[in-house]
Amino acid sequence: QVQLVESGGGSVQAGGSLRLSCAASGYTYSSSCMGWFRQAPGKAREGVVIIDSAARTSYADSVKGRFTISQDNAKNTLYLQMNSLKPEDTAMYYCAAGQSSGGSCYRLPSYFDYWGQGTQVTVSS
C-alpha cells in the first residue's frame, strides 16, 4: 500500500523559509515521478514542482528561484525547500507520486496517482 506523509508546514512571515518533507513507503520511489502541489481555498490544485527518476525538475514560474525540490532515495523522502515566502504561497501543500507517461513527468494533478494528506503553509504579510 502506497503511503505519502508530509510534514514541515507552518506559519511564517513573508520573506521567511520552510522545509517540507514527504516520506514515501510502499512505492517504487526511484523509478517514477514525484512532486509537490498546492491548493489555496477556492482555487484549483496546482503543480508547484515535479522531479523524475533522472532528477529532472519542472517548476511553476511563480516559485522559480525561491523553491527547491530534492530527494533522498536512501530514505525514500522528498523535500521542498521554500525560501522568500510570499502571502500568495499560502495553501495546503501536497506530496504526490505517479508513473511517467511516455517517459516524461508532467506538472498536472491528473498524472499523479498517490497523494499525501497535505500540510498547511500560511504566510503572513
pLDDT digits 0-9 by tens, 52-86: 988 999 999 999 999 999 999 888 999 999 999 99
| Structure confidence at residue 73 (pLDDT) | 85
Question: At 55, phi and psi to the nearest 5?
Answer: 70, 20
- CA–CA dist 46, 33 (Å, integer): 16
Distances (CA, A) of 119 to 21, 35, 115: 10, 14, 12
Q: Which three cell numbers stand for residue 66?
A: 525561491
| Residue range 40-55, pLDDT digits in tens | 999 999 999 999 988 9
For the segment 2-58, what is each residue's pLDDT rounded down to a tens digit?
A: 899 999 999 999 999 999 999 998 876 555 899 999 999 999 999 999 999 889 999
Cα radius of gyration rounded to whole Å, the chain: 13
Query: pLDDT value at position 29?
Result: 54
